[in-house]
A and B are shown apart, each in its own frame.
Chain A
């Protein structure tokens, strides 16, 4: 016999399954309609479904980020490593650096707002430190997967933003 608690739990599970379904089919019209309903729940508990690990294809490049600061009032641009920098050449038996994941996310095409916010914060900090910047650029540094460490690197601009006056 169903108790009230069991009914509530079954209802919750049904709701959770609906959210899963909407999340997995987000690119379809019914999926999008479900997501309008369930997205707040997914976001609030951080339980959205996205299982594209190495899918549809593993990345074909090894990539990391560089940040180029151009000082206000002239001076040569200064290039800094991103939060992670180039991948280590030493074996990493334990440990996972989230900065690497963060860098890869920052360079994704759909993360413009994040890049703008990082640059604005960087500009504000530089101004507060008495060394104002004119412009900040994010660069993607990469080499093809499987290429030796000595292989030439490719640098491409990901984002460029002037600092507010």
Chain B
């Protein structure tokens, strides 16, 4: 097989559209939750009289945000509400080809208005939305499919982009941590768990973290986390090691979520794991659980053909 044919097969192999539909719905729900959560801090973080000076935001090049021109008060709520409607439309898969780009624009506008409050989870969500902009993300489990604009398969491009991006995230953060003294001497996890800026249950874990056995366990967990992050890009390449690598991720991120407040990062990063699962099985699972009004009429909808193995 020529390199061009290999690349074509990698990026455009048809995969079950329902797996992408499930990914769109879950991503949409995450975007909605992230957007709604910001409401409590709308004026301090995005308002003109808030903490983030408009002049400083506008000093950055290559940016555009409709929040720049919105006055404080009800108008700001209205604009934020309009953004929420876009995200709801994306989740439901209504006119998804265009609405996916609009959903990305909503996120980017918030980022450009106040880049200083953004965390890694926001960035992961933008990258995920961008991946879904490039394919017919509304081909299944969507109002588009219900209206006859669906398809049984979609190109694997979004799945591949997410897979590649997630491999980069883990590889890059692992490499960066290798440079840190605390990751090498095993104290990083204790430092992270004991930091009041992130603790979900402030000071409740402190007595536990002081126990010698727990400290030894935490050192082992620090090195295991580092090794897993560094190995993740390789482990997910092979079907036999992919599942253990993803399960380890579930444990690590689940542990982080239980003990620390890191915003949308945990659910956003776990969302990407869906791209590593067999699309056919995932699609069938999703279709069996989706509400009837998101499914196309039975007639005229052919089941997805078998996937070409990766």
Interface residues of A, Cβ cutoff 8 Å to B = 2, 6, 9-10, 12-13, 16-17, 20, 24, 39-40, 43-60, 62-64, 83, 87-93, 95-102, 104-106, 111, 113-114, 117-118, 120-121, 125, 143, 145-146, 148-149
| Contacting pair A58 B196 (CB below 8 A) | no
The 18 sampled A-B contact pairs (Cβ below 8 Å) are A2-B8, A6-B8, A46-B107, A49-B172, A50-B123, A51-B120, A52-B173, A54-B188, A56-B177, A56-B179, A56-B180, A58-B192, A62-B195, A101-B263, A102-B45, A113-B56, A121-B55, A146-B210
| Contacting pair B130 A47 (CB below 8 A) | yes
| Contacting pair A98 B38 (CB below 8 A) | yes
Q: Point out the residue from B52, B53, B161, B195 that lies within 8 Å of A13, measured CB to CB.
A: B161
| Contacting pair B188 A121 (CB below 8 A) | no
Q: Point out the residue from A2, A53, A62, A98 that lies within 8 Å of B4, measured CB to CB.
A: A2
| Contacting pair B116 A102 (CB below 8 A) | yes
A99 neighbours in B (Cβ, 8 Å):
41, 44-45, 51, 117
| Contacting pair A104 B197 (CB below 8 A) | yes
Q: Point out the residue from B44, B122, B168 that lies within 8 Å of A24, measured CB to CB.
A: B168
- Which residues of B145-177 have CB atoms within 8 Å of chain A's CB atoms? 155, 157, 161, 164-165, 168-169, 172-173, 176-177
| Contacting pair A90 B202 (CB below 8 A) | yes
19 other A-B residue contacts (CB within 8 Å) besides A9-B157, A113-B59, A146-B206: A6-B11, A17-B164, A43-B60, A43-B62, A44-B64, A45-B108, A49-B172, A51-B168, A55-B183, A56-B179, A57-B191, A91-B200, A95-B40, A98-B45, A99-B117, A101-B119, A102-B45, A102-B117, A104-B197
Task: A45 to B191: give the CA distance in the assembly, Å.
Answer: 33
Chain A nearest CB from B162 CB (Å) reads 12
B127: interface (CB < 8 Å)? yes
| Residue in B134, B176, B264 with the greatest tally of chain A CB atoms within 10 Å | B176
Q: Point out the residue from B51, B104, B155, B169 that lies within 8 Å of A45, measured CB to CB.
A: B104
Task: A88 to B201: give the CA distance in the assembly, Å.
Answer: 9
| Contacting pair B161 A87 (CB below 8 A) | no
B98: interface (CB < 8 Å)? no
Chain B nearest CB from A97 CB (Å) reads 7
A101 neighbours in B (Cβ, 8 Å):
116-119, 263
| Contacting pair B61 A60 (CB below 8 A) | no
| Contacting pair B176 A148 (CB below 8 A) | no
| Contacting pair A92 B200 (CB below 8 A) | yes
With contact pairs A99-B41, A100-B197 given, residues A51 and B169 touching in the complex (Cβ less than 8 Å): yes
B90: interface (CB < 8 Å)? no
Task: A164 to B60: give the CA distance in the assembly, Å.
Answer: 24
With contact pairs A43-B63, A55-B180, A56-B176 given, residues A6 and B12 touching in the complex (Cβ less than 8 Å): yes
| Contacting pair A91 B204 (CB below 8 A) | yes
Ordered nearest first, which 4 A-B pairs have the shortest CB separation? A56-B180, A62-B196, A117-B56, A55-B176
Task: A47 to B123: give the CA distance in the assembly, Å.
Answer: 6
B180 neighbours in A (Cβ, 8 Å):
55-57
| Contacting pair B199 A13 (CB below 8 A) | no
Task: A40 to B302: give the CA distance in the assembly, Å.
Answer: 43
Chain A nearest CB from B308 CB (Å) reads 16
| Contacting pair B111 A63 (CB below 8 A) | no
| Contacting pair A57 B157 (CB below 8 A) | no
Task: A149 to B207: give the CA distance in the assembly, Å.
Answer: 13
B117 neighbours in A (Cβ, 8 Å):
98-99, 101-102, 105
With contact pairs A96-B261, A105-B117, A106-B116 given, residues A57 and B197 touching in the complex (Cβ less than 8 Å): no
With contact pairs A87-B196, A95-B37, A98-B41 given, residues A118 and B56 touching in the complex (Cβ less than 8 Å): yes
A95 neighbours in B (Cβ, 8 Å):
37, 40, 261
Across the two chains, which residue of chain B brings its CB closest to A89?
A: B202
Across the two chains, which residue of chain A brings its CB closest to B200?
A: A92
| Contacting pair A118 B37 (CB below 8 A) | no
| Contacting pair B12 A96 (CB below 8 A) | no
With contact pairs A52-B176, A95-B37 given, residues A47 and B127 touching in the complex (Cβ less than 8 Å): yes
With contact pairs A51-B172, A98-B41 given, residues A12 and B120 touching in the complex (Cβ less than 8 Å): no
| Contacting pair B126 A47 (CB below 8 A) | yes
B194: interface (CB < 8 Å)? yes
| Contacting pair B197 A93 (CB below 8 A) | no
